[in-house]
């Protein structure tokens, strides 16, 4: 557990870990769930829409994995990224030459 959370969060659950209070740990961790923060969601959407793919430096599958990280982080929120959003971002990121279009 200690390696899975940031130091500031670890500080808030350290005594619960020592007491082996699993329920208390999860309740405390839920307080730090940034995915519920609308500003955080908007920030992720902003960065998602700005992602670009450079075929010279990145595999297309790696770029798709990167987009899926945003999808995972926003899953279950009002700003969730659905399949069509992901595919649209992918298509708009392709190079603008005839081979890719």
- pLDDT tens readout for residues 28-62: 777 777 777 889 999 999 999 999 998 899 999 99
DSSP SS3 for 61 = helix
> Nearest Cα to 71, choosing from 93, 47, 38, 97?
47
Return d(Cα 100, Cα 97) in angstroms, integer: 6
- Condensed to tens digits (0 to 9), the pLDDT of residues 1-13 reads 556 667 777 767 7
Predicted structure pTM score: 0.69
Residues 6+ apart with CB under 8 A from 16: 24, 25, 28
């Amino acid at each position: 557990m200690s390696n899975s959370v940031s130091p500031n969060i670890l500080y808030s659950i350290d005594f619960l870990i020592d007491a082996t209070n699993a329920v208390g740990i999860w309740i405390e961790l839920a307080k730090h769930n940034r995915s519920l923060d609308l500003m955080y969601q908007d920030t992720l959407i902003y960065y998602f829409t700005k992602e670009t793919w450079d075929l010279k430096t990145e595999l297309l599958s790696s770029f798709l994995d990167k987009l899926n990280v945003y999808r995972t982080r926003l899953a279950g929120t009002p700003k969730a990224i659905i399949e069509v959003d992901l595919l649209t971002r992918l298509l708009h990121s392709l190079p603008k030459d005839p081979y890719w279009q």
